[in-house]
Each structure stands twice: as C-alpha cells, then as structure tokens.
Chain A
Amino acid sequence: MFHPKVDGLWLRAIGGFSPVTVTHTWPHGFDSATWEMDPRFHHPSLRANAPVTIYDGGVPIGFGRLQEPGENGEMVVNGLWQQTRHSPCLTAAGGFTTTPNSAIDGAISRGDVTFTRPASISSTGWITTANGELTLEQLLDGYTAEAGMRWGVDNYGRVEVKADPTAPMWHVPHAVAGRGLQPAEDEFYTHITGRFITSYGTSGPVYDVRTVGSDDAADYFGRRGVQVELEDLGVITAAKAISIITGIFLRSGARMGWSEGLDLTYGQIVTPGGVPAPLNQVQAGQMVRLAGVVDGSRAYTLGMSQDVVLGRSTYTDGSDRISLSIVDQAPRNLADVLKVAVE
C-alpha cells in the first residue's frame, strides 16, 4: 500500500485519501504522485511546498514537495529532482560554478534543493565558462549527457548519476511480448553534428562544428543526421564539443527508438526467474527483457530478445495494471559501445 507522509504526518491521520498514483522517470527518478481527498477538507499541512515522502509499506519510494492543493481535492507531489529546474549553479559561497559537486552542495546549503548527495558526482568543472547561465538541471543534464550516463534522485531522496542498467530486472514472457515493440525512426540518428562557439570575435561569436556517428549504422539503415546546438555552453574547445556529442551519441546508440510503450497487467511481467512481478516494484530505470522477440533495431546485429530500459512508469496503488514507456534507446554495454565508430 502506498502511503504518503505529508509534512511529517501520515496522511491517514490527516484524512481519507484515494489510492495514490506514482510516476517514476529515468532520468530523474521519482517524478510525481497524485491522489484525491475531500475537496472541502483543509489542513495546515496540506500546503504548497510541504515535504512529502511516499512509502510502500515502510519503504520509501519517493521524496517530493506538495503543490498547492486545488479546489477539486486533487493533490499533486512533484519529485525532488524538479527543484533543480530553477536552482542556479552557484557554490555555497555564491560564486559561479559548473562543477556538479559544488553546484549541488551550494543548492543544498541554500535550501534550493532538499535531496542529499551521499557520493561524489564530479569535482571537476564541466565547462570552463561559469557565468551563471546554467540551471542545476541543465548542468546535470549536460554533464551526464557527455558522460553517457543519466541522473536522478533515487527512492531514498539521494541524487545519483549512473549508467543505464545492462541486466534485465524483469522479463515480459514471449506470449505477452508478441512481436515486441515497434522500432521508431523519429528519434533515430546515425550522425550527430554539434555546433559550438570557439571564441568571440569583433563581429560576435565564432562557431565551429564537429560530427560523430556510426558508419555501420549509416550503411545499414541509411545515413540520418541531426544538428545539436552547444552555444549555450559558451566558449568550448573542439575536444570538449566532440566529447559532449559523443556522450549524446553513445546514449542514443545509433539505433531505432521505440514507437510504443507497454501497458501490462499482473502476471504479464515477471522476474527473470518466472515469478509474477509485484507491479508496485516495477519502476523507471529498470531494464525489461521482452523474451523471444527479435531485436532488429541495431545495425548488423540481430538480438534474440529486446532489452529496453523503462523511461516512465505510472502505477496506481492496488491496481493490477501498470503503464510503462521506454527510454528511447537501448542500454549500452561495453561490447555495444566498442561497436560504435566515432568519426
């Protein structure tokens, strides 16, 4: 049973509430929770920005902040990661920084964010230009994109940066997976070109471009390019630009994205050992194997199962149905990474 604790109080002690719907995303972790209460009911703890922890039994599954309750009795909790959207990248002393550790610790010390940082993410400045333009979200997005990883706030309220998992936590049996997920080309690129600023001249910024990509993928699927703008990062070196584009490319992996998600009922998703998954335990960031489905989304590789990482999971407490969507690309393991030719 999902049970919110609002402002330090178990919600049952405040009033009756409907089953809680919880959404996790990857990247970002716990994203939101919603439930309904009697719209005529008011309580001093049910206020904007009240701290909320969602518990599954006694185990926390998400930390967030309450939105101002509306008149319809619907309560919405935003996950702590959303606090990074408006938090500037400043050190605890108030200076500009692009060093993830310093920026996070500064935001924590100011109270801009209320998650914790139990482990180092990076103590190196991400880009040299530290002029305060970046928000903490942009810094973490950019840093993790370059590193080929993702970031989020875990179920215990801790910020974390990690690569996608490479081993499936759940299986979807072949009888359910059927033909599997439909690859989609709209998020598919074989080559990425980054446009960045090398310097500022008398007539404005001086731009340059660098491209990375996979010739194998271009041969197999046909070349498909896209340009990404890196000018928000200010002046960066060509090496830095290549590093960032490569990180983006490695995450997408020169393979098809997926055009659909999974809408599963109890028994349709199981542990690798065949035990039906408790749907409350299935959440974004975990890998799911669609058993017995041929994976043709990768160049010159015919996988005998589709492994996908869950990008979004939405589950209503007590329901026998869960809605899942897929991170737009497959996870990477070392063998896959080495396959990718970088120009």
Chain B
Amino acid sequence: MTFVTTPVHGLSLGVPGGTPLVFVEDGVTVVHTDALSGETYEFDVLAPDTQWGNPVPVVEVLTSMLTNGARVRHLRDDNRLPSVALTVRASGPNGLSAAEKALQLVSGRPAELIWQPPIPNAAPTVFEVVWSQFDHRMDDFRERWVERSYLVSLQALPHGRSVSKIITPAVVGAAPTVVDNGSSATNWAVEIPATGALSVSSGAVTNTYDPDIDVGSGLGGANLRRTADIDVSDTPYLSNDWATSKAPNPPLMGVTVDGEGALLPEVRREPGTTAGFTRSWYQVPAASSTVSSFSFFVTHVRSTGSATLQIDKVQKAATLPSSGTTRQKVATIFPGGSVPAHGTVLVQHDTDGLGHTIVFSHPIEGGYTPPLRQWLASSDTVTTDTTLVSGAYNIMSPVTLFEVPVSAIPFGDTQLWARMKRSTAAVVNIAWAASSTFPGHEGFLGNAHSGITTVTFPANQWILVPLGRFTAPPTKTGVGGILRIGLGGDSTAVVDEAWLFAMERGTLTVVDNFTGTAGLGGSANRLRVAAPSLEEPYGSLDCGYSADWSDSHTPASGNVLCDQVSHEFDPEGTMIFTVTSGVTDAAVSLEHYPRWHTHAGNI
C-alpha cells in the first residue's frame, strides 16, 4: 500500500485560450490578489460536493424473448455533470467581490476544468465544460469570518481527455523487407501438434500433421513458430503468407509473438505472392523493438487424414503496403485512452492537387481494407497503368468479379463505390451484385443483393461513383466463405478501382480536389477533415494550398461526394484508408486528444 504524503493535486477552471482560474496547484491553495484593492482571496475546494460526474449512457432497449431482463444497445453517451464546492476566504470585502467576479468570468460559457490528482506523475484530466453556473450558499456566520461558499454546477462532455493533443506525423511509404522466404526450415519449429512434421515443400515451410488431434477445446490445429530475432524497432508491421489445406473450410488463425498469449491485431489482409496463399499483416506493440519469436497458428474442426499448414514468406515493414499504387494508402492508429477519440485527418501534398480524395476510418477488424482490385477474381483483360489509383484498369464487360474473404469484411451496412471512365459521353446503367459463396463454387448461396445505378459519364474522364448499398455478406457463411462482388453493364466503360466501405462503424469522406498544379481556384493539394468539437460543433472540411492552412476554405458542396467528418479513433486500433488519385504517397497525418472515462493516463 502506498500513501501519498506530499500531494500534488491541482484544479482550475478556464476558458480555452484564456487565463484559467486556479483553485489549487501542487497541492496548495492558490492565493490571488485583487489588483484594485490589494486584498487577497483564495478558494477552498470541498469534498464531498466536489465530484466529476460520469458519462450518462444513452441506450435503446431491444425487444427479445428473454423472460427476465432485457437486451439493450448502447447508442452514445450524454454529458456528465461535475460540480465543484468552493469556500472563498478573503482578506477583506473587496477580495470577496473579486473572487466572485473571477468565478463569473469562467462560468456560463465553454471552459476547461482541469483536474490533477494528488499522486505524483499522475496525468491531469481535462473535462470540456459546455455550460456552468454557480450558486451562492448563504451563511451569515461565515460572512463574519470573511468567507463565502459557492457551488459550481457544470455540464461537460461525457469523457475526459488528456491535456496534450497527439499529432501522428505522416510516414513516407516504404517497401517491405523479406525476413524469411520460407525456403529453409532453419529457425522454424513445430509445437502444435507435437507429432507435426516440419519440412519445406514447394518453397514454403510446412507443418504436416494429423488434423484429428485435439489441440484444445475439441478442435484440431497446428502452428509454425519462427524462433530467430526480428528487429522491429522501425518496422512495426509483420506479415506472413500462409496457406492451409483445410481450405475451403479453413481455420481460426492468429499470430502471437515472444511466447505471449495475446493475439496481435491483424491490420491488413491481401492475397499472397504465391497463388493459394493469403498475406496477413500484424502490428506489434509500440514498445517492442525486437520480436524473439513469431508463432502462427490455426485451429479447425477435427477430421481424419493429413493436413498441412504452410508459410511462404515473412516480411516486415515501416508502413502498411499500398494496394496497387501509393495513391491509396492504409495506416493504423492506436490512439491511447480508454474510449474512442474523435480526431482530425490531414491529407497533403507539397505541390499537386490531390484529385479524387477519400478518407475512410474503421476500427481494425480482420485485416479489412476497402480496395477491391486486390481481390480481383475474373474480368476482361487487365491493363497496367501506374497513373491510376489501383495501378490497372479493365473493361467492365464481361462482368468484373471480386472475391473477398468474408472474415476480412465487417458484417452489415456496406457501400460499393467505383472509379470509372468511358471514352465517350453516355448515360449508362451500371449493374452490381453482392453474393456469398465459397472458393471454387460458381453459383451463390442464398440470396444476393443487387442494383442498377444510372451513371452519367462525361467523355474520357475518371469519375467516382457511389454505386449502391447492401448488407455484407448477404448470406452468413463459415469463415471460409467469400463475398463475391460483380460489376458490369457496359462494354465501353472501364473500372480503375472499386471499394467496399463498411458503414456500420466506419466514417467516409469523399471530396474531389481535382488534379494538376495546385492553386487558388484550381486544384487543392491539402484536405483537412476535423471531427465535431466544442470549438467546431459541426466539424469541418477544408481544402487548402499552403502548409500553414492560411488559405484554406470549405470546398464547394458539389465537390463533396460524401460529407462525413466524425472520424473516430478506437482505443483498440483504427485503420485509416486514404485515396488520392492525383498524387502518389500523399502525407497523411492525424491529430487527436486521447479520451478517457474519467482519469487520463500518461501516454
């Protein structure tokens, strides 16, 4: 047990940007002096009427078949209601008046209530006050002691925040480095099941095992452990190209490092280099500089016969690899804090217009990223073109098919967008369909969702089009299922890239910033998307030209294709996906305050 003998607590209330009224600092009541009279005053903060309140959850009761109790779904949190009980001690009547005036100056308006706990090195917490008022408590006896009491009642945003804003700088895209190409079994071991045989087969490290052995919970399974050190000090992303003979009814899978039980978050999934392999990217904890071991495992329903688990390649990277070209980028942010934080996303280039600009954020989930071309299954001839977002295009007839593992797509409300072009102007019906199936099965299972969108194509100009919305996947499948997306309807139009945006928990901003050398009245080379805050209650969307944002302005409404600005950074990690058709490797930086239930931590 530890008792703090020298408390360092502090409390202040102030208007943002102004001088705060400090009640207590470093554990000592602060003495103020009235400039006119020279009399002094100080505030005694009193428990138990001083408290920080709590976020007030807003929930909706869901109808259920429960006999007792009820299901509820959390919609959001409402404001918390802190209060501060004060007794003013003054050296004279003018000091009492000055104290009340000082209190009035910070009340009745947006302010920041900053609480520093008494424990040394504890992080202070800022409560963002929306409104406050104070009530005098009459006590004639105290008046004779030149004292007055007040109760300050506040209404603040539900979650406290850290004092300092965290700025996540842009990182220049870097190609991955191969750690192990799977051509040798050196540094590899098999632990699960114990009878598994380690070998190298077709250039991949292989565990050949009996899938009927119970590896826990009645399931079969296997692992491959790489035991050599991997320096990850500048490369927090690790990938492995894996394949299992249990497909198309494949396993639960995951990666642990350093013998720890916790799974690393899978932050991106894409097809592997070798056909039949899937590449999963994982992010190691920020504090790690070396990974001493790397274990990839699968579990599955037991069956007789023989099974294999293979790893073809292990890589590490400073940034997550782009899909196609660096005109589309994926980044991750672990914002700290204990509750989601709204933040600002800045997409910038020094000189050139960003073109079609997409900013999409979503909690990290199963390696999900929106681009579809990486999952192209069949189409007309694909032509490489590095000036495009995906690095290639194809005619939309015959139907362009994409097949995405359902485990890499969040369930629920999904929107399908595409970047398309047509050599001649025309109004064309573009058809799309989404269905569930399994690898190798041509038909679809259950019902499909489909639609036809009338698209007005200008001549020879790339356009960004929201094609429709559907429920992903239309039919629930096992983890080996795939979501098949079809695009077609015109034998002249070509598609560069298509995207699936998971809207249930995602936030999407789409702006056309035009291309070419940036300048006022022309294309914009900077885009800033700021979530609503007390300073900007509706959030903001600005394009700009100068690095200091002095010439920023709201883009024309007609150039904003999707106006969602509340990008949220989940404490468990958020994926930030950006597209800039006009420039490669745009600088994407993030700003946010970590948010906490009541007490901020040190970050």
The residue in chain B whose Cβ has the minimal distance to the Cβ of A55 is B562
Range class of the A interface residue count: 35 or more
- Tell whether B582 is near chain A: CB-to-CB under 8 Å: no
Given contacts A13-B554, A57-B415, contact A278 B466 (CB under 8 A): no
Q: Of A186-194, A207-215, A261-269, which binds chain B?
A: A261-269
CB distance from B408 to the nearest CB of A (A): 16
- For chain B, the count of residues having a C-beta within 8 Å of the partner chain is 48
A 145-185 to B, binary, CB cutoff 8 A, 1 in contact else 0 = 00000000000101000000001110000011000000000
30 contacts between A and B (CB under 8 A): A1-B564, A3-B564, A5-B557, A10-B563, A12-B539, A12-B563, A12-B565, A13-B557, A15-B538, A16-B537, A57-B501, A57-B508, A58-B415, A118-B454, A175-B65, A265-B61, A265-B63, A271-B446, A271-B449, A271-B475, A272-B446, A273-B436, A273-B445, A273-B475, A275-B472, A276-B411, A278-B413, A281-B469, A320-B73, A320-B75
Interface string of A1-42 (1 = CB under 8 A from B): 101010011101101100000000000000000000000000
- The reply to whether A3 and B65 contact each other, CB–CB distance below 8 Å, is no
- What residues of chain B lie closer than 8 Å to A297, measured between beta carbons? none
Assess whether B468 is interfacial by the CB under 8 Å rule. Answer: yes
Q: Confirm or deny: A333 has a beta carbon within 8 angstroms of a beta carbon on chain B.
A: no
A276–chain B nearest beta-carbon distance, Å? 7
Q: Is B17 an interface residue (CB 8 A)?
A: no
Chain B residue at minimal CB-CB distance from A263:
B63
Interface string of B495-520 (1 = CB under 8 A from A): 00000010110001010000000000
How many Å lie between the Cα of A10 and that of B453 in the bound state? 22
Contact of A281 among B61, B470, B473 (CB under 8 A): B470
Contacts of A281 in B (CB 8 A): 413, 469-471
B6: interface (CB < 8 Å): no
User: Which residue on chain A has the smallest CB distance to residue B444?
Assistant: A273
Q: Mark B394-435, 1 if CB is under 8 A from A, else 0.
A: 000000000000000001110101000000000000000000
Alpha-carbon distance between A268 and B561 when the two chains are bound, in angstroms: 32
A156 with B454, Cβ < 8 A, contacts A10-B557, A55-B562, A57-B415 known = yes
Give 6 new A-B contacts, CB below 8 A, not counting A278-B469, A281-B469.
A55-B563, A156-B454, A272-B475, A273-B473, A275-B471, A275-B475
- Tell me if B476 counts as interface (CB < 8 A to partner A): yes
A110-126 CB contact bits vs B (8 Å, 1 = yes)? 00000000100000000
| Interface-centre pick from A57, A158, A319 (highest chain B CB count, 10 A) | A57
| Cβ-based interface call for B447 (8 A) | yes
Are A320 and B564 interface neighbours, CB within 8 A? no
Q: Which residue of B lies closest to A9 (CB)?
A: B557
Given A1-B564, A58-B417, check contact A318 B75 (CB 8 Å).
Answer: yes
A265-B565 contact given A8-B558, A58-B508, A274-B476, CB 8 Å threshold: no
Query: B476, A57: Cβ atoms under 8 Å?
Result: no
State whether B60 touches A265 (Cβ < 8 A).
yes
Cα A58 to Cα B60 in complex, Å, equals 27
Interface hub of B62, B471, B473, B477 (most chain A Cβ within 10 A): B471
Q: How far is the CA of A271 from the CA of B412 in the complex (A)?
A: 10
The distance in angstroms between the C-alpha atoms of A263 and B61, with both chains bound, is 13
Q: Does B486 contact A (CB under 8 A)?
A: no
In the assembled complex, B560 has its CB within 8 A of some CB on chain A: yes
Compute how far the CA of A9 lies from the CA of B446 in the bound complex, rounded to whole angstroms: 41
The reply to whether B557 and A273 contact each other, CB–CB distance below 8 Å, is no
- Please report the C-alpha to C-alpha distance between residue A305 and residue B473 in the assembled complex, in whole angstroms: 24
| Complex-state Cα separation, A44 to B38, whole angstroms | 53
Nearest CB of B to A121, in Å: 16
Q: With A and B bound together, what is the CA distance between A175 and B563 in angstroms?
A: 39
